[in-house]
Amino acid sequence: MVGRRTVLAAALGLAAGCARARPEPAAPEAADPSPPPSPSVTASATSAPPSREEVLARYAGQRPTQWGTDLPGVVAEVPAGALALTFDACGGSGGNGYDAALIDTLRRHRVPATLFLNARWIDANPGPFGELAADPLFELGNHGTAHRPLSVTGRSAYGITGTVDAAAAYQEVADNAAKLAGLLGRPPRWFRSGTAHYDEVAVRIVGELGERVAGFAVNGDAGATFTADQVARTVAAAPPGSVVISHFNHPDAGTGPGYAQALPRLLDAGRRFVRLSD
């Protein structure tokens, strides 16, 4: 499995595909992290999530002590040595493009993936969204409403200001979840924030809404800034069990050509791919 240092090292350059900004230093990690919500608190797939008022009352005044991409409750690994490829579409100023060639590569090789869609990207790409939603090869996840780091204190990452309080964090998750549920006929099961940064209180709020938080162990395209060769080398070297993050909203980047190089090598080596919910 992938270690904590791998996750933290992979974070550098993550948001370039969404913000093209320099990262800020990570905050010191707390010695006594808060646990993620227990199953008795977190909404399940068979029960309605608690109301906005209930959630905000529960988390009113809670102050986080952690900040970053690798927190308790953030999933960065999958079992049984598989690889979980995940691709973000950030939307808005982060890019409303559609890398059709990358998606075609995944389809041609029958490689499943989890795609995280921002609300603005969905609005800008109704045709591609419909095609992706109809393809069982892909699982569609929630990439937020305004593509913000998920915070209850307004923490920033890569120059992007996070949600300012628990109410804003709730809305960042819930509004796009409602959009996806209305379009798909079912709620999304996974959430990844803009920049993939969280505090531990925000992670718990995601759980209240019945979604799991997706992290990453390998940064496959450094925010859509890697060349094709860099993407190919990085993805081909992903350790077994990794969640790999890349982007599919920058068709001019090296991401698509890099995966076209890497996937045949991985398949020839017998590597197995899963969606996060698999």
What is the rounded average pLDDT of the residues 192-208?
A: 98
Res. 3 pLDDT band, cuts 50 70 90: very low
Which residues make Cβ contacts (< 8 Å) with residue 28, sequence separation at least 6?
Answer: none
Res. 233 pLDDT band, cuts 50 70 90: very high
pLDDT of residue 12: 47
Question: In the numeric block, which tokens belong to residue 278?
Answer: 């698999």
pLDDT of residue 18: 65
Please tell me the least confidently modeled range out of 21-35, 221-235, 258-272: 21-35
Res. 34 pLDDT band, cuts 50 70 90: very low
Average model confidence (pLDDT) for the chain? 88
What is the rounded average pLDDT of the residues 238-256?
A: 98
Helix (H) or strand (E) holding 156: strand 156-157
Residue 28 has pLDDT above 50, yes or no: no
Please tell me the least confidently modeled range out of 8-17, 72-81, 231-240, 245-254: 8-17
- Measure the CA–CA gap between 247 and 90, rounded to whole angstroms: 8
Question: Interior CA angle at 261 toward 138 and 238, to 5°?
Answer: 70
Q: Report the predicted TM-score, pTM, of the whole model to 2 decimal places.
A: 0.86
- Measure the CA–CA gap between 50 and 151, rounded to whole angstroms: 20
Residue 170 has pLDDT above 80, yes or no: yes
Q: Quick check: 278 and 117 in contact, CB under 8 A? A: no
Pair type for strands 138-142 and 113-117: parallel
Res. 17 pLDDT band, cuts 50 70 90: low
Helix (H) or strand (E) holding 160: strand 160-161
Res. 10 pLDDT band, cuts 50 70 90: very low
- Measure the CA–CA gap between 61 and 110, rounded to whole angstroms: 47
Q: Quick check: 93 and 146 in contact, CB under 8 A? A: no
pLDDT of residue 40: 34
pLDDT of residue 49: 72
What is the rounded average pLDDT of the residues 134-156?
A: 98
- Measure the CA–CA gap between 269 and 86, rounded to whole angstroms: 20
Q: Nearest Cα to 228, choosing from 246, 214, 208, 215?
A: 246
What is the rounded average pLDDT of the residues 191-210?
A: 98
Q: How many CB atoms within 10 Å of residue 20? A: 15
**DSSP string of 69-100, one letter each residue:** S--TTEE-B-STT-BEEEEEE--GGG-----H
What is the rounded average pLDDT of the residues 188-206?
A: 98
What is the rounded average pLDDT of the residues 168-196?
A: 98
Q: How many CB atoms within 10 Å of residue 65? A: 15
